[in-house]
Structure 1
Amino acid sequence: MSKNIARLAVTAGLTAALSFGGVMAPVTMAFADGTPVATTIGNVTIKDDDYAGTTFKGIKIFSATVTQDQTSPNVWDSTDEKTLSDIKWASDEVRDAVTGEFNSDTTDPSKPNNINDAAAWAKWIKTKTEAEYEAGTNQTTNLNVGTTLDRIAKALEKVTATNATTGWKTSTDGKFNDLPAGYWLFVTDQPGSTKSTNKTNGNDDAFTSPIFTIVGGADVNAEPKKSVPKVTKAVMDDKGDKFVTDVNKTVFTAANKAADSASEQLIKYQLAGTVASNINTYKKYSYTFTDELPCTMVPNLNGNNPVVEVKIDNSVVDPACYSATYAPGKSTNTLTVSFENLKEAKDTHGTSINVDGSSTVYVNYEAKLDAGKINADMLGKAQVNNVMLTYSNNPHTDGTGTTVEHPAYDYTYGIDVTKVGSNDETKGLKGVEFTLQEQGDTNKFIMANGVKTTDGAKAKLTTDDSGKINVVGLDEGTYVLTEVTPAPGYNNSAANGVTFTIKRDLNQNGGDVIPSADSAINAASGVVKNNSATASTGKLSFTIVDQKGTGLPLTGLNGVTFTWIAGGAVLCIGVAHLIRSRKQAEESEQE
């Protein structure tokens, strides 16, 4: 027994007990609470409940006999450190990959000279890692880019051995059973997606940071050392001033998803994304927001470029660190904000911004409903804006993943007004002119497409052959519809205006919105037809009644008529007498 302990103590000085995520733990000798037992096989399980279809790859670095205490037969003391003895390279390919990675480090005299001396290399790896992580390492430590273990993992990803005996194995369920004992590296082989689970769509998975562990003794149960970025989109309603109204929540848990707006009114949007918790393991971290607006909406532009503000936490990012582009399309208009390397971001003063696993990236911009694209069919229906995030998902390659699309919604409304006469309320009056204004805004008039103007003549709304006017692109609010020119033969009953209110309850899930018709219309008695106010998807309808003009009584008509008749009779008698007199005179001359 004493000989065995002595041998293990010597070996411990040449080896490393390494745990998850590239973590190195100190080797200790503590057999007082149990009996040390050597083993040549072990089991590893990498559990990931969120992503289906992800496969993992195990690469054996060192073959060894692994010793750990047992508290009773076949029961390992999981609190006891594992030690390795009889260390050998797992394969020539692994040896050449690891040692070849450090061949160029001519300034490090501590590097072993003999590439076949596996124990010496194990000791060197342990010493280098302890120096790189002065505060110590544990199971939550991720490997910083460029550190010894990170470089080893990157080099070993190129190894293509074909079976566990020579040091290579894959698993589609994260379970590795009866692996040869030794020191192993586990990495992601192919990322999966939540699309493979009971969810309808989801993020692409990210590659785990390297998991270095000792196989043998107690089973190894690990979780992938990574996190997948997430993205969301919020919209600021014009009746408020915040993207998140609940002060106890964040934009990821309680973002405002819906707002309504008038035609050509700029609305504030915010895109927000997280970064990988192990971003320190990436040398280059690409990061791109792709925002799909409906064809009915356009962002605020400066020339052909979208006007955006990009922030990392509270720091405004220098525009030189990212690209912002806009591309109109037939069905969607696309706004893109892209970082080639988020880790190199600087603020507007040129100071580097620290980006770590707790950082949030924001993109703020404004967009509006295009007056030329608004029509009656879209009233009350969600204009859907989707954002997606594309991110680096492998610390050692240029691979990328994508997030779920996250939506925000914008709504607009309209009115459908019918003009009739009191003598026939089933027939519309053509050619009646109105103006529409928002209550309290007497200097501006609203045109049929919802756009405001100071030119009242330009904004006149004229009833068609059916006696109707239709206005689209209205926001929630109170309006005044004023009749300025009635139909011929009718009185102007709405000269003092009909006041109506578009009330709504915004649907945060993108469903249709129907304004409320209850107590929404106010006018003088008889101006609005009783029970004519109705509400449908996105639209308020009502009927305005004009009174038929009334004639005034006339006097003297009969006397005038008699005078004309008498005068005519006298004239006829005079003419007849004249004709008879001339005839008699002619007869006398002939005699």
Structure 2
Amino acid sequence: MRRSITRTLTAIAAGVVALGMAFAGGATANATPPAKGQSSITINGNGQDLINRTFEAYRVIDITDVATGADGSESYTLEIDSAYRNQVRATAQEVLNTAADATDAAVVNKISGMNADETRSFAEKLVKELDTANQTATVSSDKFGSERMNKQATGLDAGWYLVRETTAASSTPNATTGNAPLSLFMMKGGQNINITVKSDVPTSHKKIVNDDYSNPRDADDFQTNENITYRLTFDIPSNWKTQYKDGFYFTMHDKLSAGLDYVEDPVIKVADNEDSITNAVDWDKSAQGYGYTPEFSKSKDGKTVEWKFATAGTETSDTTNRKANLKLAGKTVVVYYKAKMNASAKIASTGGNGNTYQVYYQHNPGNAADGYDHTTPETPYVYTYQFIVVKQDGDNTDTKLSGAKFKLYSDKSATKEVAVSSLANGVYTVEPSGTAVLTTGTDGKITVNGLDSGTYYLKETKAPSGYKLDDTVRKVTVTPNSEVANAKNGDAITYKVNGDSNHTMTINNYKGSLPSTGGMGIVLMVVAGVLLIAGGMISIMRRRA
């Protein structure tokens, strides 16, 4: 992901030494112009990859002369750069209450005396003024080089610089610039200013957990239509409390694959951090008193679900709720929800069924309409299995038998039936409310999809026409070849059914000497019965005689 830069303004110590500065249009006695092209600005990634991130700088105030006193102190002659004069003066009027007819020297003097809060406000307003005027940066983004961990612009003149990140927002609504200042500082001639990008950025994670929220993992196997509990987290940097002085918003976004269905009744909690999730407090019971309920939404196809934290109400309510979110700075927001695999779920041999989670969050502290950034997407996967029954004539295995009926059980005594529903001729899936009977198709096969790993039991309840019933309770064991929890990126899971890698069980049926349906056997039985009756009657008649 592109890590979000910390946009809290940093007033660098070397840049706020304003006392003793001289403010005049011309050079001061014993003063000399600072060396040109001898300064530089280095942006230090602090371990972060900056290759795809862009920055630019504006030299809004020039240092024209430097004078050294007898005690070694320095004073500077400052002038507003003519390219940005209107924007600097307009910003000073709004933020520092300078008079409209104030001299440039008076304006510069006021700017040089700003405290930290005034510096932040001044920079936020100034960058908006520069964008409104469509001003070109003094140091364009390409001047900061293409290094991965550090970006440096060299050959700069002395002056007051406004440096900001210009990396585009990561997703819609998009923006051409971040409009977010990084630092406002004074840089003397021959000086290098090093700006370190803080690494305290938001992160998000998604795990499969047990019903009691324990045992977080990235992959597991389940039956279809069995509830699966997911845990979504969003770790909010503590510095957002000051970075977003007007509050912030974010959306926890989850996209389910075709084989998964969302199940209602989510639970939202807040933890002190990622390591203390087990002690998380329900959102509406938190002592923090966030004062609103996050908005839940689901797409028409049911495959995209979102929890919106201060982005779905009215302008008034969202403004209030964004400020309430400041209480979340430094904490972890946790959402638990359930989903289940449906009849479209992929069987393990063709890959897992994933749902991708990420958080979209406010791109720009100073402009809520300036698009989103997003955390790195994470996708846990769930798997399910199938087994195939082949019914055939035991004396002629080329003859496959249709019409044989079976029931599937979860216990050896065959009392707990595993309900199924029919998908097609001879194809079924596990469904708790299903009423279908497993029946071999015209090819003599039954395919049962949607099984968890483990042991099942299969029992024939009706034989094919002309064959004896085989009521043996047969064990069906589904065994993955590797630990499912270690599966990554939806990799296929190989497995066996009763040791067979083709997941197939073959069951033979035999024709009987006493067939259960019509034919010559019944005729012979009827004739034999009649003869016995006739013989009995003759014997009785003889006795009477």
Using structure 2 for the length normalisation, give the TM-score: 0.69
1:383 aligns with 2:353: yes
Task: Give the secondary structure class of the aligned counterpart of 1:100.
Answer: helix
Aligned counterpart for 1:498 among listed residues 471, 474, 477:
474
Structure 1 residue identity aligned to 2:508: V
User: Which residue in the other structure is 2:43 paired with?
Assistant: 46
Residue 508 in structure 1 maps to residue 488 in structure 2: yes
Letter in 2 for 1:386: T
Give the CA deviation at 1:209.
5.0
Give the CA deviation at 1:324. Answer: 0.8
Give the whole-Å Cα distance in 2 for the aligned partners of 1:65 and 1:333: 62
Looking at structure 2, the residues matched to 413 and 66 of structure 1 have their Cα atoms a distance apart, in angstroms, of 78
Secondary structure at 1:292 match in 2: strand
In the alignment, the residues of structure 1 paired with residue 264 and residue 374 of structure 2 have an alpha-carbon distance, to the nearest angstrom, of 27
Shift of the 227–207 alpha-carbon distance from structure 1 to 2, 3 Å rule, reads farther
Which residue number corresponds to residue 455 of structure 2? 478
Q: Check 1:68–1:433 CA distance in 2 against 1; reply closer, same or farther (3 A cut).
A: farther
Query: Offset of 1:124 from its aligned partner?
Result: 3.0
Which residue number in structure 1 is paired with residue 243 of structure 2?
281
For the residues of structure 1 that align with 2:73 and 2:378, how far apart are their CA atoms? 46
Say if 1:150 and 1:281, in contact at 8 Å, map to a contact too: no
Aligned to 2:378: 406
Q: What amino acid does structure 2 have at the position aligned with 1:219?
A: N
- The 3-state SS of whatever aligns with 2:292 is helix
How far apart are 1:353 and its partner, in Å? Answer: 6.8
Change beyond 3 A, Cα 1:104–1:222: closer
Check if 1:309 corresponds to 2:268.
Answer: yes
Distance 1:340 1:82, change over 3 A: farther
Distance 1:437 1:266, change over 3 A: same
1:120 maps onto 2:105 in alignment:
no
Contact 1:65/1:84 (<8 A) preserved: no
Question: 2:315 — aligned with what?
Answer: none
State the 1:90 CA deviation. 3.4
148-157 vs 482-491, which moves further: 482-491
- Cα distance, 1:267 vs structure 2: 0.3
- The alignment status of 1:60 with 2:59, answered yes or no, reads yes
* Structure 1 partner of 2:542: none
Measure the CA separation in 2 of the matches of 1:272 and 1:301.
18
- The aligned amino acid for 1:159 is L
What does 1:234-253 correspond to in 2, within 5 Å? 234-236=207-209, 242-244=214-216
d(CA) in 1 for partners of 2:74, 2:451: 74
Instruction: Pick from 80, 90, 93 the counterpart of residue 97 of structure 1.
Output: 90
Q: CA deviation at 1:57?
A: 2.3
From 190, 196, 210, the counterpart of 1:223: 196
Which residues in structure 2 correspond to 1:417-566 (within 5 Å)?
A: 417-439=389-411, 442-447=415-420, 448-453=428-433, 458-493=435-470, 495-504=471-480, 505=482, 506=484, 507-517=487-497, 520=498, 534-536=500-502, 540-550=503-513
Q: CA deviation at 1:269?
A: 0.9
Does the 8 Å contact 2:393/2:510 carry over to 1?
yes
How far apart are 1:451 and its partner, in Å?
Answer: 1.2
Q: Which moved more, 1:320-329 or 1:220-229?
A: 220-229
Query: Helix, strand or coil for the counterpart of 2:155?
Result: strand
Alpha carbons of 1:95 and 1:209: their partners in 2 closer, same or farther (altered >3 Å)?
closer
Residue in 2 aligned with 1:179? Answer: 156
**DSSP-derived class of the 2:379 partner:** strand
Amino acid at match of 1:270: R
The answer to whether the Cα contact below 8 Å between 1:478 and 1:501 also exists between their aligned partners in 2 is yes
- Shift in Å at residue 268 of structure 1? 0.7
Corresponding residue number in structure 2 for 1:272: 233
Tell me the distance in 2 between the aligned counterparts of 1:451 and 1:345. Answer: 42
Among 70, 80, 85, the residue aligned to 2:76: 85
Max Rg structure: 1
Following the alignment from structure 1 to structure 2, what is the Cα–Cα distance between the partners of residues 97 and 224? 29
Q: Which amino acid letter does the alignment assign opposite residue 494 of structure 2?
A: I
Q: Which moved more, 1:358-367 or 1:318-327?
A: 318-327
**Which secondary structure does the structure 2 equivalent of 1:416 belong to?**
strand
Contact 2:65 2:77 in 1 (8 A): no
Identify the residue that residue 147 of structure 2 maps to in structure 1.
Answer: none
Match of 1:354 in 2: 327
Deviation at 1:433, TM superposition (A): 1.3
Residues in 1 aligned to 2:451 and 2:509: alpha-carbon distance in whole angstroms: 25
Q: Distance in 1 between matches of 2:383 and 2:106?
A: 71
Query: What SS is found at the alignment partner of 1:117?
Result: helix
CA gap 1:193/1:370 in 2 versus in 1, 3 angstroms: closer
Q: Compared with structure 1, are the counterparts of its residues 394 and 326 closer, same or farther at alpha carbon in structure 2 (3 Å cutoff)?
A: same
Looking at structure 1, the residues matched to 200 and 444 of structure 2 have their Cα atoms a distance apart, in angstroms, of 62
Q: Provide the rounded CA distance (Å) in 2 between the counterparts of 1:516 and 1:68.
A: 85
1:390 Cα shift?
1.4
Q: Show CA shifts across 1:391-429 (max 9, x none).
A: 112122232223343212121111110112322122222
In the alignment, the residues of structure 2 paired with residue 411 and residue 392 of structure 1 have an alpha-carbon distance, to the nearest angstrom, of 35
Q: What is the CA distance between 1:115 and its match in structure 2?
A: 6.2
User: % of aligned pairs identical?
Assistant: 21
Q: Let me know the Cα RMSD of the aligned residues.
A: 4.2
Shift of 1:288: 1.1
One-letter code of the match for 1:545? Answer: N
Give the 3-state SS of the residue equivalent to 2:154 in structure 1.
Answer: strand
What does the per-residue CA deviation read over 1:10-31, in whole Å, with 9 as the maximum and x for residues that have no partner? xxxxxxxxx97334478599xx
- Output the amino acid matched with 1:93: N
- 1:529 matched to which residue of 2? none
Give TM-score, length-normalised by structure 1: 0.64
**Structure 2: distance between partners of 1:65 and 1:509:** 59
Contact 2:349 2:494 in 1 (8 A): no
- Residues 59, 156 of structure 1: 8 Å contact kept: no
Task: Give the equivalent residue in structure 2 for 1:74.
Answer: none
SS of aligned partner of 1:427: coil
2:304 counterpart residue number: 334
Partner SS state of residue 428, structure 1:
coil
Answer whether contact 2:253 2:359 (CA < 8 A) is retained: yes
What do residues 279-338 of structure 1 show as CA deviations (whole Å, max 9, x unaligned)?
222123221122110122111136xxxx34253543432493321111143xx7111111
1:325 aligns with 2:297: yes
> What do residues 191-221 of structure 1 show as CA deviations (whole Å, max 9, x unaligned)?
3879xxxxxxxxx997765212332233123
> 1:209·1:226 contact (CA, 8 Å) conserved in 2?
no
Question: Is the 8 Å Cα contact of residues 161 and 186 (structure 2) preserved in structure 1?
Answer: yes
Residue 348 of structure 2 contacts residue 493 of structure 2 at CA under 8 Å; is this kept in 1? no
**Which protein, 1 or 2, shows the higher relative CO under an 8 Å CA cutoff with sep ≥ 6?**
2
Letter in 2 for 1:281: Q
Aligned to 2:287: none
Question: What amino acid sits opposite 1:535 in the alignment?
Answer: S
